[in-house]
Amino acid sequence: MAVIQRSRSKKSTNASAANPPPPLESTQILTDSVGTSLQSIAGLTVPWDQMSRIQQEYVDQATTLWNQALEQPGQLKPDDRRFAAPEWSSTPASAFMASMYLLNARTLQRLADSLSGDEKARDRVRFAVQQWVDAAAPSNFLALNPEAQKKAIESKGESITQGLQMLLSDIRQGHMSQTDESVFEVGRNVATSEGSVVFENEYLQLIEYKPLTDKVHALPLLIVPPCINKFYILDLQPDNSLVRFAVSQGHRVFVVSWVNADEDLAQSTWDDYIEKGTIEAINVVREITGAEKINTLGFCVGGTLLATALAVMDARGDKPAASMTLLTTFLDFINTGTLDLFVDEAMVQMRETSIGERSPQGGGLMRGGELAATFSFLRANDLVWNYVVGNYLKGEKPPAFDLLYWNGDSTNLPGPMYCWYLRNTYLENKLAQPNAVTVCGQPVDLRRLDMPTFVYGSREDHIVPWDSAYASTQLTQGPITFVLGASGHIAGVINPPQKNKRSYWTSGKPGTFPPTAKEWMATAQEHPGSWWTTWAEWLGKHAGKQIAAPKQLGSKKHRPIEPAPGRYVLRKA
């Protein structure tokens, strides 16, 4: 082990004599052993001058913390929300432990950031280090968490009993509770907009919603949500429902409710979801309303499915869309953010041979729980460890929150469909290349899409980085409107105007879309409030004249089957 000699001023030497420094062995073990380990990963190296500087600064800061803990323990205040409770600062040992943890975490992250070598390997190491750092926080352990210990003492052990009960309950239900799930019920207080299922097949139910206005636009609106989640993220409760908002604006609204795939669909493909899913829904809406053209909206993967379906139909000589709205959607997978860490040739081949068409059984299921866990660990402190501490260590039931209830209602995907998506988008980005893939027998060229298109991205989106959402402006050929909203993948989208929250950005030069998102942002204008009103104004221009609202839902050929939200959304993974 390398020995780091530190230069000291006379003042620091005297202080150290009065207050013995922490054993340098322990501090050097961290930086030496971790640094050596990092240098052996995938050919990555840490330049020696950076390694030496990081080690020196670590020892200096550790010594300062040790001296402060001995001389002024009351001044130790770990600056992190996980240690914000007064119990952490009022107990010198806990304050020192938390402060040392934060120093260790920063040092590990600096070492990971200093690696040179293959960029993807570096990103994977940084992600792994972040996961380890998040998991190792002293707040995550009852024996080290003074706040949880105090509650256990004050409740005479009741908090621990309640925590164990919640842990057992979560094990039984197969996922960690992020909200009080007993408060919500689909169809009772979420997904409550009035409507009927007017069509169904093995892949979807199509819901038509009851108009809220005497007149509606002649061109209906079809919404295609992501198939990796339940549709009711767009219809949570009346005051934050995008579905209800669109209906209130005088649109005749239809929504796809994807089935939660089971073994019967385990061999279904991407082509099936395009042909029997999205294209079928488009044609049924046209049949019910009598409209040759319809307005369309796709959210997340739903937008990818929608754009692909419209490109397939275009190749067949059919142009059904009067407009297309894409919400936090990938068309060009130029930057997939943290998710890119999980996708490489070996991983995709593994999936293809286990649940894809190349598997012995010709397909399997990508379990919803696995997808949900992956997305949660992208923000582990917020979506995992926060609930470990609150639910299990403190025995506190999480507050009721409709969005997090939806987040826990996961869905399965057919393996072949999922594997096609992984390979042709995340891995090879072929969907953005003209005629690079064939879907439903047609070469796909997104440049053929020439309808007016509204593209929305969320500035803090960790699933569809906003520069990738912006990249759609460089693909389609029709008139484009791009809007950037504040917040993340879901919260940025679900931002009703009456809440008067957040803000959004529009182009400072309408109709002008430079090659990069950074260039666009340089001239963008910020507006307070919700982007929904801007979208509603845009959509109204493409929705046709006002006609009398239908008195009944569906049509003679497609009669109502059951009330919204239908059976499919109730099926659990």
d(CA 493, CA 243): 12
- Concatenated DSSP letters of 378-433: TTHIIIIIHHIIIIIIS-PPPPP-HHHHHHTS---EEHHHHHHHIIIIIIT--TTS
d(CA 201, CA 256): 11
The 10s digit of each residue's pLDDT in 267-318 is 999 999 999 999 999 999 999 999 999 999 999 999 999 999 999 999 999 9
Q: Is the pLDDT reported for residue 121 higher than 90?
A: no
Question: What value, to the nearest 5°, has the Cα angle with vertex 503 and ends 500 and 506?
Answer: 130
Candidates 227, 300, 419, 440; catalytic one? 300
SS3 per-residue string spanning 524-540: CEEEECCCHHHHHHHHH
d(CA 200, CA 186): 19
Question: In this structure, what is the dihedral angle of CA atoms 397, 402, 404, 409, given to the nearest 10 degrees?
Answer: 110
- Give pLDDT, residue 119: 85
Q: Is the pLDDT reported for residue 443 higher than 60?
A: yes
Which segment of 13-17, 237-241, 281-285, 563-567 scores lowest on mean pLDDT?
13-17
Give the pLDDT band of residue 107 (cuts 50, 70, 90): very high
How is residue 509 annotated by DSSP?
S
Report the DSSP pairing between strands 442-443 and 453-458: unpaired
Tell me how far apart the terminal alpha carbons of the chain are, to the nearest angstrom: 51
Q: Is the pLDDT reported for residue 350 higher than 50?
A: yes
**Is the CB of residue 224 less than 8 Å from the CB of residue 303?**
yes
The 10s digit of each residue's pLDDT in 58-77 is 999 999 999 998 888 888 88
| Other CB atoms within 10 A of residue 312 CB | 23
Both structure tokens of 545: 């004249």
d(CA 459, CA 486): 5
Helices (H) and strands (E) in the chain, counts: 21, 17
| Other CB atoms within 10 A of residue 169 CB | 12
- Give pLDDT, residue 83: 95
Is the bond preceding 565 in cis, omega lying within 30 degrees of 0? Answer: yes
Please report how many Cα atoms fall inside a 13 Å half-sphere around the Cα of residue 468, on the Cβ side. 26
d(CA 181, CA 490): 19
Where is mean pLDDT largest: 79-83, 241-245, 341-345?
241-245
Nearest C-alpha neighbor of 253 from the set 303, 204, 195: 195
The 10s digit of each residue's pLDDT in 80-92 is 999 999 999 988 9
- Give pLDDT, residue 8: 33
- Give pLDDT, residue 129: 94
Nearest C-alpha neighbor of 195 from the set 157, 151, 234: 234
Which segment of 213-222, 452-461, 502-511 scores lowest on mean pLDDT?
502-511
Domain coordinates in residue numbering, the chain: 10-154, 195-367+412-570
What are φ and ψ of residue 488, in 5° steps? -105, -160
Percent of the chain with pLDDT over 70: 92
Q: Is the pLDDT reported for residue 40 higher than 80?
A: no
Both structure tokens of 413: 């995907």
Cross-strand bridge partners of residue 326: 298, 455
**What top-level class would CATH report for the domain 195-367+412-570?**
alpha beta
Mean pLDDT of 221-229: 96
Q: Is the pLDDT reported for residue 511 higher than 90?
A: no
- Residues in the chain, overall count: 573
- Give pLDDT, residue 27: 44
Mean pLDDT of 244-249: 98
Mean pLDDT of 514-536: 95
User: Kind and range of the H or E element at 195?
Assistant: strand 195-200
- Concatenated DSSP letters of 50-69: HHHHHHHHHHHHHHHHHHHH
Which segment of 169-173, 239-243, 275-279, 312-316 scores lowest on mean pLDDT?
169-173
Q: Is the pLDDT reported for residue 10 higher than 70?
A: no
Question: Going along 451-554, which residue ranges are E strands?
Answer: 453-458, 480-485, 503-506, 525-528, 546-548
* 32 or 136, which is more confident: 136
Alpha carbon distances (Å) from 425 to 81, 348, 422, 498, 505? 37, 11, 6, 37, 28
Give the pLDDT band of residue 23 (cuts 50, 70, 90): very low
- Give pLDDT, residue 555: 96
- Give pLDDT, residue 3: 31
- Give pLDDT, residue 22: 52
Instruction: Describe the crossing of helices 119-135 and 92-113 by its angle, rounded to 10 degrees.
Output: 170
**Is the CB of residue 409 less than 8 Å from the CB of residue 163?**
no
**Is the CB of residue 386 less than 8 Å from the CB of residue 457?**
no
Give residue 335's Cα distance to chain centre: 14
**Is the CB of residue 245 less than 8 Å from the CB of residue 534?**
no
Mean pLDDT of 242-259: 98
d(CA 37, CA 44): 10
The 10s digit of each residue's pLDDT in 557-571 is 999 999 999 999 999
Give the pLDDT band of residue 391 (cuts 50, 70, 90): very high
The 10s digit of each residue's pLDDT in 478-500 is 999 999 999 999 999 999 999 88
Give residue 119's Cα distance to chain centre: 23
Q: Is the pLDDT reported for residue 24 higher than 70?
A: no
- Give pLDDT, residue 375: 85
| Amino acid symbol at 537 | E
Nearest C-alpha neighbor of 139 from the set 96, 91, 94, 109: 94
SS3 call for 294: strand
The 10s digit of each residue's pLDDT in 312-328 is 999 999 999 999 999 99
- Give pLDDT, residue 26: 44
Look over the chain and give the mean of its residue pLDDT values, rounded to a whole number: 91
- Give pLDDT, residue 42: 56
User: 440 catalytic, yes or no?
Assistant: no
Which segment of 36-40, 43-47, 125-129, 179-183 scores lowest on mean pLDDT?
36-40
The 10s digit of each residue's pLDDT in 400-421 is 999 999 998 989 999 999 999 9
Q: Is the pLDDT reported for residue 528 higher than 80?
A: yes
Question: What value, to the nearest 5°, has the Cα angle with vertex 182 and ends 177 and 185?
Answer: 110
| Amino acid symbol at 49 | D
